C-alpha cells in the first residue's frame, strides 16, 4: 500500500532529456556529509532538535540523484510512469513512516564537491517553500544523496516522519467545488476540478500529506493529487457553515496590509500584501476584540490568512 508524499519542487516541470547515453559519475560522500550537516544545523537552530540520518533514506536519495542525472531529467515525477520516490520506498526497506518530503536541486559542478553542496543548501534556503520544509520540526529522519558527473551535481534530500497510530483522521471531503493545484498557492496551475462532497481518500489511505500556510496536498481514490486550501475541506460530506457564499472575491484598499493567523489584531502577522491585491474569500468572522467589525480569510498569492474587512472592498 503506497503512502503519502509531499512533493516539493525547485523546478515545476520536467526538464527535457539531454542525455542519450549513460554518464560516468559517482556519489560524493563529502558533498552528502556537508549538505546533511548544514540541514541538521539549521533544524537545530530552529527546533532544538534534528532528524536522524537514515542509511535507507540515503540510499534512496542517492538513487534519485543518480537516476535524474544519468537519464537527463529534473523532476519529482519519475519517468516514464510519473511515479514518486515513495513508490519505490519498499525497495529500500523503508516501511514505517506516515508522510515524506523530497527536495531536489542541481548546479554546475566546477569546484570541490563540498562547495557544490554548500551551493545546493543556499538554493534550498533561498526558496520559501524549501526553507519551510527544512525547518519543519516534525520530520524525524532524513537522507541525502549527491551524484556528480560531467560538470553537474544533483542533490536529493528525503525527510520522513513516524508511523501514525491511525489514518482515520486523514479522511476529508470537499466542502465545496474546489480546484486542486500544482502547488500551495493560487498562482500555481490548476490540475483537477473536484466536486462538493468528493471523498479525498482511497485505497492508498492518501490524503493531506503536507501543510503549507493553510494549503494541503490531497490525493483522490484514483491516485491523482494536488493542493487546495484546507478550509475548503471538512470531515463530513456537508459544507461547513462558516464559509462565505455571498461574495467570492475582494480587493485590498491599504498599502502593505497585514495578513494575520486569525480574525483580530492579537493574532500574529504572517505576511503583507500591497494595495489592490485581489483575493478569494473563504471565511468571514467578527473581530475578536468585541467591536463586531468583519474580518475576511482569503487566499493570497503566497499564503492564506485573515485581513481586516474595512481595508477591503468588493472586487
- Cell numbers found for residue 179: 480546484
pTM of the model: 0.50
What confidence tens digit (pLDDT) does each residue in 167-206 have? 334 567 777 677 777 776 777 777 777 777 777 753 333 3
Separation of alpha carbons 109 and 148, rounded Å: 7
CA geometry: angle 34, 86, 145, nearest 5 deg: 20
Using alpha carbons, select from 211, 111, 100 the residue that is nearest to residue 157. Answer: 100
DSSP characters for 5-38? EEE--SSSSPPPP--SS----EE-HHHHHHHHHH
Contact 207, 3 (CB under 8 A): no
Instruction: Provide the pLDDT for residue 57.
Output: 95
Q: Categorize the per-residue pLDDT at 117 as very low, low, confident or very high, splitting at 50, 70 and 90.
A: very high
Instruction: Provide the pLDDT for residue 17.
Output: 33
- Name which residue leads in pLDDT, 225 or 144: 144
- Cell numbers found for residue 100: 515524506
Separation of alpha carbons 219 and 203, rounded Å: 11
Q: Categorize the per-residue pLDDT at 163 as very low, low, confident or very high, splitting at 50, 70 and 90.
A: low
High-pLDDT (> 90) share of the chain, %? 26
Mean pLDDT score, 266-277: 89
Q: Categorize the per-residue pLDDT at 223 as very low, low, confident or very high, splitting at 50, 70 and 90.
A: low
Separation of alpha carbons 50 and 32, rounded Å: 16
CA geometry: angle 212, 216, 219, nearest 5 deg: 145
128 has a pLDDT exceeding 80: yes
Amino acid at each position: 500500500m503506497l503512502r503519502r508524499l509531499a512533493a516539493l519542487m525547485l523546478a515545476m516541470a520536467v526538464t527535457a532529456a539531454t542525455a542519450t547515453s549513460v554518464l560516468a559519475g559517482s556519489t560524493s560522500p563529502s558533498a552528502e556529509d556537508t549538505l546533511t550537516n548544514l540541514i541538521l544545523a539549521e533544524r537545530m537552530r530552529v527546533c532544538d532538535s534534528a532528524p536522524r540520518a537514515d542509511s535507507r533514506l540515503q540510499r534512496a536519495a542517492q538513487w534519485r540523484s543518480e537516476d535524474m542525472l544519468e537519464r537527463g531529467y529534473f523532476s519529482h515525477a519519475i519517468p516514464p510512469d510519473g511515479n514518486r520516490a515513495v513508490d519505490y520506498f519498499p525497495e529500500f526497506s523503508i516501511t514505517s513512516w506516515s508522510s515524506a518530503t523530497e527536495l531536489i536541486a542541481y548546479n554546475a559542478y566546477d569546484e570541490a564537491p563540498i562547495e557544490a553542496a554548500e551551493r545546493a543548501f543556499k538554493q534550498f534556503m533561498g526558496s520559501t517553500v524549501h526553507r519551510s520544509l527544512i525547518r519543519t520540526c516534525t520530520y524525524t529522519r532524513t537522507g541525502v544523496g549527491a551524484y556528480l558527473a560531467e560538470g553537474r551535481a544533483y542533490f536529493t534530500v528525503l525527510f520522513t516522519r513516524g508511523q501514525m497510530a491511525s489514518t482515520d483522521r486523514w479522511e476529508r471531503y470537499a466542502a465545496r467545488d474546489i480546484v486542486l493545484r500544482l502547488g500551495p498557492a493560487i498562482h500555481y496551475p490548476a490540475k483537477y476540478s473536484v466536486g462538493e462532497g468528493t471523498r479525498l481518500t482511497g485505497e492508498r489511505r492518501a490524503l493531506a500529506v503536507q501543510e503549507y500556510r493553510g494549503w494541503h496536498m490531497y490525493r483522490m481514490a484514483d491516485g491523482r493529487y494536488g493542493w487546495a486550501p484546507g478550509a475548503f475541506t471538512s470531515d463530513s460530506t456537508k459544507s461547513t457553515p462558516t464559509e462565505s457564499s455571498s461574495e467570492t472575491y475582494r480587493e485590498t484598499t491599504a498599502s502593505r496590509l497585514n495578513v494575520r493567523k486569525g480574525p483580530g489584531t492579537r493574532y500574529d502577522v504572517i505576511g503583507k500584501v500591497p494595495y489592490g491585491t485581489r483575493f478569494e474569500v473563504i471565511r468571514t468572522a467578527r473581530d475578536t476584540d468585541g467591536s463586531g467589525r468583519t474580518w475576511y480569510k482569503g487566499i493570497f498569492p503566497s499564503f492564506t490568512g485573515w485581513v481586516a474587512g474595512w481595508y477591503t472592498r468588493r472586487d
